[in-house]
Chain A
Amino acid sequence: MYALVDCNNFFVSCERVFRPQLEGKAVVVLSNNDGCVVARSNESKAMGIKMGTPFYQVKDMVKAGRLIACSSNYTLYGDLSSRVMSILADTVPKIEIYSIDEAFLCMDGIPPDRIREICAGLVKRVRKWVGIPVSIGIAPTKTLAKIASHFAKRYPGYKGVCQIDDDEKRLKALSLTPVREVWGIGRRLAVKMEDCGIRTALDYVGRPPEWVKEHFMLHGMKTWMELNGRVSVEEERPEKRKSICTSRSFAEMIADRAELASRVADFAAKCAAKLREEGSAAQQVTVFLYTNRFRNDLPQYFPTVSIRLPVAANSTQEILSSALKGLDLIYRPEYLYKKAGVMVEDLVDADAVQLPIFDYDLGLRHRRDRISEVMDRLNSSGHNVVRLAAQRTGDYTDVVRSGFRSRRYSTSLDDIIEVK
């Protein structure tokens, strides 16, 4: 048995924990740079606001006081997410964190008659301890658990927990689920299925397996089996990432090389710190630039360059100097840039880095590693206290526009709630 725990309207719910006055109000959370809507309260969903709506289209409602907009506050969401996940991990033997607001609980070894009760307890506990409402779907496969969680979320009668534990309930749930809402069926696949006359998940499981295999290959077959109650989606192993990317859109367009270089240096430093955090080293550094693709009146340019490193590295100096080398190769002064990024790729275990036999200054490497270590410790407050001269002064996050960001209530002592 699997249980899928899904936080309801997670970003909005996070904002409400520290601003309970937002309860019952139409609230949206905006993407980086306040670009578009990325989370909606039930009330704003009911007003017809769609996911991805550009902010300017709802600006008037905000001005009129009918809608409350929050800039995204990922520090806050990340902290509350880890609190939720730690409660889940303390309750069941195994969890797989699927995204910032979703986790699969593996219920193997728990007596079947206790699963529902445990899940009901979790709904209450997460709500009370962290303040976040969650919905839980219980079923024999992950794909069905996901469907069950939709029902738990949609119908208050379930009190947050819906279990699909027999065939009657399974077929009923499948008949009520449009095929495009099934986990693992993307938009393109859904269109193809609808062209074949498949509207609901029940229509899909009604097709013979040979037909499914012929039209939708192995991937479609896995989903078909899962919907039939047979586990076919393997465990997602927490593998080391293959690449790490740090990129940002700028609030203003930038043409100046030196200004761009300081941004790229920041992104490179951030990538290097992430590499060290997870004990990896990169063999390749990629730099990319974007002009503003929404400005048809301006010339467009989207260059990318990759630089191989002689030896896999994770020190700020090495990653940063490669990134700046890359920038010099692609920078053209005649364009206005809206976005830049640095990607470190071909990651290997930092402890297993192959060193060349000749011409390698091991002492220099050790000194660089020591400097990086000290930088990490001094920067662990989350602010760039220590940086290389090529980087910008101040927090690089301030390039992001966030006119309505709430405080970092749970992670910064200067931002905690005030109590009268």
Chain B
Amino acid sequence: MYNPEDKTDGLLPPMAAEGIHAGFPSPAQDYMNPCIDLNKELVRHPAATFYGRVVGDSMIDAGVEEGDILVIDRSIEASEGDMCVCFVDGEFTLKYISFRDPSPGAGNARKDDGRLWLVPANDSYPVITVTDASSFTVWGVVTYIIKKSYRK
């Protein structure tokens, strides 16, 4: 039964007790900080940040597994080698983005013909070549991957 007079609920962040103190103030008083706020650490642009959940294993060699949560920042302009959430052929896909043709013998120069490549981190998946920009969008750049390691 909840007792409304009970003031200890344990849900508030740790704060230096300010009340009325007689005697010597706590020396820890000046060193109190609010607790670590992961929202602040992991989300640089709150207005542009969305989340996604990984399905499948196309990025398994990058350590990204089914069920992981992606922190996706839409404000970032995707550049070479960024892990991106893209929209291709009617679905969202997670891949490294590349402006250089990764096929053997293609050279390492950046292509400026509008083509780009979506590179998986799993040998059993093909590289996707994007030629038609109209049916493709980079939806956002993945900034963090959140993974649950505890098995219960």
Chain A residues in the interface with B (C-beta under 8 A): 20-21, 83-84, 86-87, 90, 125, 128-131, 367, 370-371, 374, 377, 409-410, 413, 416-420
Q: List 18 A-B contacts (CB under 8 A).
A: A86-B46, A86-B47, A90-B47, A128-B74, A130-B74, A370-B4, A374-B2, A374-B9, A413-B51, A416-B52, A417-B85, A418-B52, A418-B54, A419-B54, A420-B55, A420-B58, A420-B92, A420-B94
Q: Which of B48, B69, B90, B91 contacts A83 (CB 8 A)?
A: B48
The closest CB in chain A to the CB of B57 belongs to A420
Alpha-carbon distance A87/B49, docked complex (angstroms) = 12
Other-chain residue from B47, B55, B139 in contact with A20 (beta carbon distance below 8 A): B139
User: Which B residues are in CB contact (< 8 Å) with A125?
Assistant: 75
CB distance from B35 to the nearest CB of A (A): 17
Report if B99 contacts A (CB, 8 A).
no
Q: B52 near A417 (CB under 8 angstroms)?
A: yes
The answer to whether A416 touches B4 (Cβ under 8 A) is: no
A419 touches B45 (CB 8 A): no
**Are A419 and B70 CB-contacts (below 8 A) given A20-B87, A370-B4?**
yes
Q: How far is it, in angstroms, between the C-alpha of A55 and the C-alpha of B70 when the chains are bound? A: 37
**Are the CB atoms of A417 and B47 closer together than 8 Å?**
no
Chain A nearest CB from B62 CB (Å) reads 13
- With A and B bound together, what is the CA distance between A367 and B55 in angstroms? 48
Say yes or no: is B137 at the interface (Cβ < 8 Å to chain A). yes
With both beta carbons as reference points, the residue of chain B lying nearest to A127 in the complex is identified as B74
The one of A130, A367, A374 in contact with B47, judged by C-beta atoms closer than 8 angstroms, is A130
Query: Are the C-beta atoms of B47 and A419 separated by less than 8 Å?
Result: no
Q: Is the interface of A mostly helix, strand, loop or mixed?
A: helix
A130 touching B53, Cβ below 8 Å: no
Q: How far is the CB of B25 from chain A (nearest CB, A)?
A: 30
A406 and B50 alpha carbons, distance in the complex (Å): 16
In the assembled complex, the Cα of A21 lies from the Cα of B9 at a distance in Å of: 47
Mask for B38-76, Cβ within 8 A of A = 1, else 0? 000000011110111111101000000000011000110
What total of chain B residues lie within 8 Å of the partner, measured CB to CB? 30
Task: Find the B residue at minimum CB distance from A366.
Answer: B4
The one of A21, A129, A370 that contacts B90, using a Cβ cutoff of 8 Å: A21
Say yes or no: A417-B53 contact (C-beta < 8 A), given A128-B74, A130-B74, A131-B74: yes
Evaluate contact between B85 and A419: CB separation under 8 angstroms: yes
Per the bound structure, the CA–CA distance linking A226 and B44 in Å amounts to 41
Other CB < 8 Å A-B pairs besides A20-B87, A420-B56, 18 of them? A21-B90, A83-B46, A83-B47, A87-B47, A128-B48, A129-B48, A130-B74, A367-B5, A416-B51, A416-B52, A417-B51, A417-B52, A417-B53, A418-B52, A419-B54, A419-B92, A420-B55, A420-B91
**CA of A186 to CA of B27, assembled, Å:** 66
The distance in angstroms between the C-alpha atoms of A409 and B50, with both chains bound, is 8
Picked from B2, B90, B93, the residue with its CB within 8 Å of the CB of A419 is B93
Tell whether B20 is near chain A: CB-to-CB under 8 Å. Answer: no
Q: What is the minimal beta-carbon distance from B4 to any residue of chain A, in angstroms?
A: 4
User: How many angstroms from the CA of A261 to the CA of B69 in the assembled complex?
Assistant: 42
- CB of B11 within 8 A of chain A? yes
Within 8 Å by CB of B92, from A367, A374, A377, A417, lies A417
By the criterion CB–CB under 8 Å, are B53 and A418 in contact? yes
Q: With a CB–CB cut-off of 8 A, which chain B residues contact A410?
A: 50
Q: Which residues of B contact A86 (CB under 8 A)?
A: 46-47
Within the complex, the shortest CB–CB distance from A54 to chain B, in Å, comes to 31
Partner of A129, one of B51, B75, B94: B75
Question: Per-residue CB proximity of B82-114 to A under 8 Å, as 1/0?
Answer: 000101001111100000000000000000000
Q: In the complex the two chains form, is B52's CB within 8 Å of A419's CB?
A: yes
Nearest-CB residue, chain A, relative to B9: A374
Contacts of B58 in A (CB 8 A): 420
Distance in angstroms between the alpha carbons of A308 and B27 in the assembled complex: 53
Bound-state CA distance A83–B53 (Å) is 21
Q: Is the CB of A419 within 8 A of B55?
A: yes
Report the separation of the CA atoms of residues A370 and B8 in the bound assembly, to the nearest whole angstrom.
12
Residues in chain A near residue B47, CB distance under 8 A: 83-84, 86-87, 90, 129-130
- Inter-subunit contact B48/A130 (CB<8 Å): yes
Given A131-B74, A370-B4, A374-B2, check contact A417 B50 (CB 8 Å). Answer: yes
Chain B residues with Cβ under 8 A from A129's Cβ?
A: 45, 47-48, 74-75
Q: Give CA–CA (A413, B71) in the complex, Å.
A: 12
| Chain A residues whose CB sits within 8 angstroms of the CB of B11 once the complex forms | 377
Which residue of chain B lies nearest to A85 when distances are taken between CB atoms in the complex?
Answer: B47
Considering the chains assembled together, what is the distance between the CA atoms of A410 and B5 in angstroms?
Answer: 37
Residue in B46, B51, B75 whose Cβ sees the most chain A Cβ within 10 Å: B51
Nearest CB of chain B from residue A408's CB, rounded to whole Å: 12
Q: How far is the CB of A196 from chain B (nearest CB, A)?
A: 47
A22 and B52 CA atoms in complex are apart in Å by 19
Residue of B nearest to A412 (CB): B51
Min CB distance A372 to B, Å, is 10
Most buried by B among A84, A367, A420: A420
A79 nearest CB across to chain B (Å): 10
Across the interface, name the chain B residue whose C-beta is closest to A88: B47
B127 CB, min distance to chain A CBs, angstroms: 15
* Closest 5 pairs between A and B when the two form their complex, measured CB to CB: A129-B48, A370-B4, A83-B47, A419-B52, A416-B51
